[in-house]
C-alpha cells in the first residue's frame, strides 16, 4: 500500500519502540484519519498484516496506518521492571504524541493491546477524549484474566491460572533471551489448541509461532501479573458516544464471550460480533471480519465528524 516508513519511537526511559507507518496517499488538504494497531501478548505488529494490506482499498478514502511493537515485544526494547499495562498506556500516549501529533485517531487493539487502549483512556483521559474518534476491541477484556477458562472446567481453570502465574514469575526473572524460539515447532500443537478455534491453517500457526518465538522470556512472564490486576470496566465510560466495535470468537479460550459481553454492557451503542468457531487470534483467523469492523468504525466516525460542525453552528446561531 504505497510507501512504508519504519519510525523508531524513543521514550523518556531510554526504551525504543519499533513502529511502521503507512502514510495515506493522494490526500487532499483534509487531514486523514490514522488507525493505530496494538497487538496482543507475546505477538508483534505482523498480527495486523492482512488488515493493513486490505484497509485502504476496502475503505476507498485516504487513511494513514500505524502499527508498532509493544514494549518487550517484536523489535522493540525488552522490558526491565516496567512490564505493566500502565506503562503500555503511557507508551501509547508517547507514540501518538511523536508520530501522530495531529488529526483524528481510531485505535484497534487485540487482547493485551485492547487492555493498553483502556489504560491510555484511563491515564490520559483528556488526550483520549480530544483525539480518539473510534475504537475496535478484538479478543480482549476489561476484567483481566478473571474469566479465562482455557476451555476447561472452572476448577481446572483456577488451577491452570495459578500454575501459569507461578511460571510467569520465573520467566519474568529470566532476562531478554529467547530459548523457546527453537522449541516452537514442538510447541505448535499447544499453540494451536490454546489460541485458535476449530478451523486452522498451517500458515496461521507458523506466523503465531514466529511472533511468540520472538518475544523474550522477561516479557512473556513480566506482563502476566499486570493482566491479572487489570480492571478497567469503569474506564469504558470514556468510550461512550464513540463508534466502538467489539469482536470475539465463540471458541476463544483466553478472553471468552463473557469478556466481550461485559464491555458491551458498559457501551450499549457498541456493536458486538461473535465469530462462530473462531478462537483468540481473530486478525489471523477471520481477517475480513476484523477489517470490516474497522471500516465500519471509520465510516461511522466520518459521519459523526461531518455532523459535528453543523451541530456547533446551529448552537452558535441559537
Residue 80: which CATH number? Answer: 3.40.50.1820
C-alpha dihedral (53, 56, 60, 64), degrees to nearest 10: 170
| Residue 80, pLDDT score | 73
| Residue 260, pLDDT score | 98
Instruction: Give residues with Cβ within 8 angstroms of 65, minimum separation 6.
Output: 1, 21, 22, 34, 35, 37, 52, 55, 56
Cβ(55)–Cβ(294) under 8 Å? yes
Among 226, 227, 220, 156, smallest CA distance to 183 is for 220
Instruction: Give residues with Cβ within 8 angstroms of 266, minimum separation 6.
Output: 142, 233, 236, 237, 240
Which H or E element spans position 108? strand 105-110
| Overall pTM > 0.75 | yes
* Domain with 275 in it: 5-317
| Residue 147, pLDDT score | 76
| Residue 215, pLDDT score | 85
Per-residue pLDDT 10s for the chain (318 aa) are 557 888 899 999 989 999 999 998 655 546 789 999 999 999 999 999 999 999 999 988 889 999 999 999 999 987 777 789 999 999 999 999 999 999 999 999 999 999 999 999 999 999 999 999 999 999 999 998 877 776 666 766 665 665 566 555 555 555 565 767 777 888 889 899 999 999 999 999 999 999 999 888 877 788 888 888 899 999 999 999 999 999 999 999 999 999 999 999 999 999 999 999 999 999 999 999 999 999 999 999 999 887 764 343 333 333
SS3 135: strand
Cβ(260)–Cβ(248) under 8 Å? yes
| Residue 51, pLDDT score | 97
The C-alpha atoms of residue 208 and residue 184 are separated, in whole angstroms, by: 10
Domains held by the chain: number: 1
In degrees, rounded to 5, the angle at the alpha carbon of residue 254 between the alpha carbons of residues 91 and 292 is 70
* Spacing of C-alpha 292 from chain mean position: 16
| Residue 167, pLDDT score | 56
Amino acid at each position: 500500500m504505497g510507501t512504508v516508513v519504519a519510525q523508531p519511537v524513543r521514550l523518556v526511559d531510554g526504551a525504543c519502540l519499533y513502529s511502521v507507518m503507512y502514510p495515506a496517499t493522494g490526500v487532499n488538504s483534509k487531514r486523514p484519519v490514522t488507525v493505530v494497531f496494538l497487538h496482543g501478548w507475546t505477538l508483534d505488529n505482523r498480527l495486523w498484516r492482512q488488515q493493513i494490506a486490505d484497509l485502504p482499498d476496502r475503505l476507498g478514502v485516504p487513511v494513514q496506518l500505524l502499527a508498532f511493537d509493544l514494549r518487550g515485544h517484536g523489535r522493540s526494547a525488552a522490558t526491565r521492571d516496567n512490564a505493566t499495562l500502565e506503562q503500555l498506556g503511557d507508551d501509547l500516549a508517547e507514540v501518538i504524541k511523536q508520530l501522530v501529533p495531529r488529526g483524528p485517531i481510531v485505535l484497534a487493539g487485540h487482547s493485551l493491546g485492547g487492555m493498553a487502549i483502556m489504560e491510555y483512556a484511563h491515564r490520559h483521559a483528556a488526550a483520549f477524549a480530544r483525539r480518539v474518534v473510534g475504537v475496535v476491541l478484538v479478543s480482549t477484556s476489561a476484567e483481566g484474566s478473571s474469566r479465562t477458562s482455557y476451555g476447561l472446567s472452572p476448577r481446572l481453570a483456577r488451577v491452570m491460572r495459578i500454575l501459569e502465574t507461578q511460571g510467569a514469575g520465573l520467566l519474568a526473572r529470566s532476562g531478554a533471551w529467547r530459548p523457546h524460539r527453537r522449541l516452537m515447532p514442538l510447541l505448535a500443537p499447544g499453540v494451536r489448541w490454546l489460541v485458535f478455534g476449530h478451523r486452522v491453517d498451517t500458515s496461521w500457526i507458523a506466523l503465531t509461532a514466529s511472533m511468540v518465538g520472538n518475544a523474550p522470556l522477561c516479557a512473556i512472564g513480566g506482563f502476566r501479573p499486570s493482566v491479572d490486576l487489570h480492571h478497567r470496566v469503569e474506564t469504558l465510560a470514556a468510550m461512550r458516544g464513540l463508534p466502538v466495535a467489539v469482536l470475539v470468537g465463540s471458541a476463544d479460550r483466553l478472553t471468552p464471550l463473557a469478556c466481550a459481553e461485559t464491555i458491551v454492557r458498559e457501551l450499549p451503542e457498541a456493536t458486538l460480533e461473535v465469530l462462530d468457531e473462531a478462537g483468540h487470534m481473530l486478525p489471523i483467523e477471520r481477517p475480513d471480519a476484523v477489517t470490516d469492523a474497522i471500516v465500519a468504525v471509520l465510516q461511522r466516525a466520518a459521519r459523526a465528524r461531518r455532523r459535528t460542525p453543523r451541530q456547533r453552528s446551529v448552537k452558535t446561531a441559537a
